[in-house]
Amino acid sequence: MSTFTALDVQDVRFPTSRSLDGSDAMNPDPDYSAAYLTLRTDAEDAGTALVFTIGRGNDVQSAAIAALAPHLVGRDVEEVLADLGGMYRELTDDSQLRWLGPEKGVMTMAIGAVVNALWDLRARREGRPLWLTLASMSPEELLDLVDLRYLEDALTRQEALEILRRGAEGKEQRITALRENGVPAYTTTPGWIGYSDEKLTRLLTEAREDGFEMVKLKVGADAADDERRMRIAREVMGPGYPIAIDANQRWGTEEAITAVRALAPHDPYWIEEPTFPDDVLAHAAIRTGIHPVRVATGEQGSNRVLFKQLLQAGAIDVLQADATRVAGVNENLAILLLAKKFDVPVCPHAGGVGLCEMVQHLAFLDAVAIGGEDERRRIEFVDHLHEHFEVPVRIERGAYMPPQEPGGGARMHPASIEDHLFPDGPVWAEEQAPLAPTPAR
Amino acid sequence: MSTFTALDVQDVRFPTSRSLDGSDAMNPDPDYSAAYLTLRTDAEDAGTALVFTIGRGNDVQSAAIAALAPHLVGRDVEEVLADLGGMYRELTDDSQLRWLGPEKGVMTMAIGAVVNALWDLRARREGRPLWLTLASMSPEELLDLVDLRYLEDALTRQEALEILRRGAEGKEQRITALRENGVPAYTTTPGWIGYSDEKLTRLLTEAREDGFEMVKLKVGADAADDERRMRIAREVMGPGYPIAIDANQRWGTEEAITAVRALAPHDPYWIEEPTFPDDVLAHAAIRTGIHPVRVATGEQGSNRVLFKQLLQAGAIDVLQADATRVAGVNENLAILLLAKKFDVPVCPHAGGVGLCEMVQHLAFLDAVAIGGEDERRRIEFVDHLHEHFEVPVRIERGAYMPPQEPGGGARMHPASIEDHLFPDGPVWAEEQAPLAPTPAR
């Protein structure tokens, strides 16, 4: 028997804007950050999760997570962990908190953090990585985690159960195959918009040498730059090599169609976030207008109802789930089921702080127990900030290899947290030094 | 010359759950609340705005507003007020904060509060009510306030300008007519789901006696209750009297169609929020399935792109704009223009804390300078909490009469704020008293 004793939140920020790592057409100067949650018990263990943000507002996100403490502190741990479907619904159905969305934005990401921390703790207590904790559940147990409200015009309970039952057939063989081969990654490391052509060329070459079979470039700030960089990338990587492009919501519908058509001679594999993520009808129009270039979106998709509509409208070829944008593992499970129903591959969004470490569990679960074998499935990879995590991702021959260690992947080294606490950690104290007068020596 | 000196936020909550005022199928026990913003200047004046919430989370909403202080404090007041289009874009384009939405939820509502407080201050300095400040601007000035990004597939800059130019013709006559006749209201006061049949009957009778020409009932918790209450309402009000119903997002698509068809013999005027507010495709399917009953939604519509899609898809008959859900006056101006383009009437959402006082300005602007004469336009009215406002709404013969007093309507009496501060104001100290041991005397 144990009890939740505290819900601690820390504001952790990395000064990534110094190096233009992570720069794109909409986000020129991100400071990759984490609203970092530790959910403690009197058994001296804890569940960990984080919400990824890009700097300012990480304090607001932290306050939103802290506001959920009354739902957990003092509760029986075993009882909560035994019914994570019930706990997820308790949090999302808190009618007073729901008003702040509904089911979107800061409060939903906060709920996602709590849900993910509970899953981390449950996996740790089972001694398993999160993907295996989930993959070990029966179809009925998995279905009970999902909230099908507002989805049943696209996915009935019976259809969801059938998907999960089909997913359970041959699961053991797929787990073995996963452990041998992993899930292919693609890398965004070369393609940040602030990098020089020389750096782009060097990093593209390294990506191929490292075994990656797909890369992605940021576009959308300047059409001539986009054309030049895409041309360079095609020359370096050769014909047929998949090169995705990502506009980070920079365009309207007509702009997107014009811009992608202009790059089409260089054979982009997909256009990611061509426009505003909520705009189902625009994505559908863009997809028609740029065929056969694929349309991808989802990293800022606010909830399962948006994904349902993107799928119903035939608006996307690729669904990019994120670990910290929606209400946690449970909502992502609904999204994986919807994608399978519509036969659209899920290629999770990663990068940021700890997203690689977290989203891989969703992709492994999908590969093993929901979507099954699908050569279109790839997980984004960015080679940033992994050194701060207790169990950093393991990439071999261009593929994510499944971790054996227990948990959901979000736990950071204590020293990394302390160094990057905002605004008083040593990294930020240094950062702000130039603003103060230089002391006499 | 003056400077912004402080952005003060107060957490103000009314214990409305005690009386079931405001109870509906999704929100059984709201404590109507305001994250209340006072934007101070060194000229000893201030702009006021609020975000309406229903209790828990009002602290998070307050923190989000406070996080915007660096954008204002220390800035020149006259310069900011002279370019409120620019300030609105500065806030919504802060790329680090944008990540927390984008353009939705807690952070967008916080931006809306700051934008609305700036408009309040500008109107006060002009000595005009907000609606007249806006209505006095030229078509070109109004257009400059709007962000058309992501809208131009439905509303081009030229179309928006033409709407505003047509709206400027005959504006003076419409202002005169507005001052004489106001804008019709409808009342939700009788229809809360927690009220007895006797209270429903009494309040319906009073509503008609007070001159209201439309009422609204909450539905969606229980089909038999809905049928009985709708039947009572029809008997009391007689055939042909408009009785709207409001399900507060309770249903999925098929449930909504079934439920509304079951009530159709009692001739409901519109069904409001039949399902999840983001679900454009579901609203379109429901509208087709329940014709000729009208579909209304919008009080939780997260941004202008959602409203654009609802209009493009032919999903709604009535657009219910809210003063504190989107990014303030500027975003609502875009929404009014979209509605006019698609010839859908805007019937603003009100009630809550101060929403009546705030949304009326949008409807008056619409009536005078955008939508023009439209007998379908009505403003929601709920007779709660008006006594706390410095300029409470004035309802005459069932119509909202335009205020003459300067400002945007959100300013509360200092004593009302102090009494209801959460958690330490006297109203809440009382509320919590039973939880503490009774002191010996």
**Number of CB pairs < 8 Å for A and B?**
188
* Residue B276, amino acid: F
B300/A96 Cβ within 8 A: no
Any idea where the domains of chain A sit in the sequence?
4-128, 171-415
CB-nearest to A63 from B29, B60, B279 is B60
CATH superfamily of A4-128: Enolase-like, N-terminal domain (3.30.390.10)
Residues of B with CB below 8 A from A252's CB? 149-153
- How much is the average pLDDT of B116-127? 98
Report the alpha-carbon distance of residue A258 to residue A271 in Å, rounded.
12
Instruction: Say which CATH class A171-415 falls into.
Output: alpha beta
The reply to whether B16 touches chain A by the CB within 8 Å rule is no
Report the alpha-carbon distance of residue A89 to residue A83 in Å, rounded.
10
Chain B from 402 to 421: CB within 8 A of any A CB: none
pLDDT digits (tens, 9 = 90+) for A35-94: 999 999 999 999 999 999 999 999 999 999 999 999 999 999 999 999 999 999 999 999
- Classify residue B403 by its DSSP letter: P
Report the alpha-carbon distance of residue B144 to residue A73 in Å, rounded.
49
- What interhelical angle do A223-237 and A253-263 show, nearest 10? 40
Active site residue A218: yes
Give the CATH number of domain B4-129. 3.30.390.10
Q: In three state form, how does the secondary structure of A267-315 look? A: CCCEEECCCCCCCHHHHHHHHHHHCCCEEEECCCCCCHHHHHHHHHCCC
Q: What Cα–Cα distance (Å) separates residue A35 from each residue in A394, B103, B131, B316?
A: 24, 20, 40, 38
CB-nearest to A305 from B254, B278, B308 is B278
Active site residue A349: yes
Report the alpha-carbon distance of residue A295 to residue A318 in Å, rounded.
6
The residue with tokens 């007249």 is: B132
- The tokens for B423 are 């958690």
A57/B96 Cβ within 8 A: yes
B59/A249 Cβ within 8 A: no
CB-nearest to A61 from B27, B100, B305 is B100
- The two beta strands, A4-13 and A215-218, are unpaired
Is residue B435 predicted with pLDDT exceeding 80? no
- The two beta strands, A46-53 and A33-41, are antiparallel
Residues of A with CB below 8 A from B54's CB? 95-96, 99
The reply to whether B69 touches chain A by the CB within 8 Å rule is no
Task: Give the best residue of A14, A60, A193 to mutate against chain B (max B CB count within 10 A).
Answer: A60
pLDDT digits (tens, 9 = 90+) for B200-216: 999 999 999 999 999 99
pLDDT digits (tens, 9 = 90+) for A384-409: 999 999 999 999 999 999 999 999 99
Residues of B with CB below 8 A from A300's CB? 99, 102
pTM higher than the cut 0.90: yes
Can you give the pLDDT of all 441 residues of chain A as single tens digits?
999 999 999 999 999 888 766 777 777 789 999 999 999 999 999 999 999 999 999 999 999 999 999 999 999 999 999 999 999 999 999 999 999 999 999 999 999 999 999 999 999 999 999 999 999 999 999 999 999 999 999 999 999 999 999 999 999 999 999 999 999 999 999 998 888 999 999 999 999 999 999 999 999 999 999 999 999 999 999 999 999 999 999 999 999 999 999 999 999 999 999 999 999 999 999 999 999 999 999 999 999 999 999 999 999 999 999 999 999 999 999 999 999 999 999 999 999 999 999 999 999 999 999 999 999 999 999 999 999 999 999 999 999 999 999 999 999 999 999 999 999 999 998 765 444 333 333
A153/B252 Cβ within 8 A: yes
Residues of A with CB below 8 A from B150's CB? 252, 275-276, 279, 282
Query: Which residue in A71, A216, A218, A266 is the catalytic one?
Result: A218
Minimal Cα–Cα distance from A427 to chain B, Å? 19
Minimal Cα–Cα distance from B28 to chain A, Å? 8
Query: Does the interface ipTM go beyond 0.90?
Result: yes
Residues of B with CB below 8 A from A282's CB? 150, 153
